[in-house]
Chains A and B, each alone.
Chain A
Amino acid sequence: MEVVKIVGIGLAAGMLISILRQQKPELAMQLSIAAAAMIFLLMVSRIMQVVDVMQTLSTKARVDQAQMAAILKIIGIAYVTDFGSQVLQDAGEKSVASKVEMAGKILIILLALPIILAIMETVLKLLE
């Protein structure tokens, strides 16, 4: 049972973090970073499987591979910025967290631009 393992890690980390937070908040923050990274490392093989299925489906549906790569990159950026901003919010740095989120949004828009342009071109072609 993988779920039990993950939930157990989460609960143990939560207890240790709440013990440490009263004494040394800086170490509690690092412990929460370590717990988050560890859970992702345990889950990464499952994420790989999902990504593989998505890719075979997209090749079957004849989606452009470049666009599929862009979508995957967007998911990655969203995950990493969310991770960073959550950790920062836990540490009480709300303003830095919101800047990190803003940077993530800008990068996502940048990656989505080619897809938006392709949609616009298709719409214009239909209108003519």
Chain B
Amino acid sequence: MRTPAPRKILSALFVGACGLSVVLALIPLVFLLFFVLSQGVQALNLDFFLNDPRPVGETGGGMANAIVGTLMLTGLAAAMAVPIGVISGVYLSEYRGSRFASAVRFAADTLNGVPSIVVGVFAYAVVVLPLGHFSTLAGGFALGVMMIPIIARTTEELLLLVPNTLREGALALGATRGRAVFTVIVPAALPGIITGVVLALARIAGETAPLLFTSFNNAFFSTSLTQPISSITVQVFTYAISPYEDWHRQAWAGALVLVAIVLICSMAARIAAARVARIRGQ
């Protein structure tokens, strides 16, 4: 028996359309990586990682202060958002039927959709204004606020994937509900939760808007929590809108470093999750 010709043609058309869509979807990514890589590599050298920015007119200099700043800001955000987010996620999955949980879920989804500049304004109002000046704390707070709903919802969804039979097994051994959750259910979902946290980190590491009026920028190296601090994203923004050729090259290099950090984070998350899973034999 032979396949009728019209059906063959239709099948080929659909396969072709699918392939074309994939190619179209990948084109921006390929171009982005290509440009960032080709432009960024030119300005990338050891000095870029070790030196702070030089004044206009002097060539050289780097983004050491901005790289440290980004690490501090994301670290602060994680310290704030991981405990709150994971515990909220546990609450959402444990009390999923309750009215309060539905309200929290709705609030988290709304917060997730709030434009990041609005989160920046919020952080400006609650941290910058009382302190009287821009600071690392304010920037970390703004990023943390953005991270909480992502982690809470990811954690909730991963906990719901843990088979209920594990919960029953723990309860049948005389575990209380809380014990069952924190000694069996959360550990079972841990590889996924780790991945979720790191992906959330990678996402907020690339934020610029919430930092513009919270941590602002700093031309000098600083690790103070109460002083303004530089970050790669804000530094790239500052350099990119400047009229100086040398700064443009530095902006490309900064973009490349940022992409590399995000990529390394994602890979580290996958490796960590795979290792935890392998230890357990999953």
Judge: A and B partners, yes or no. Answer: no
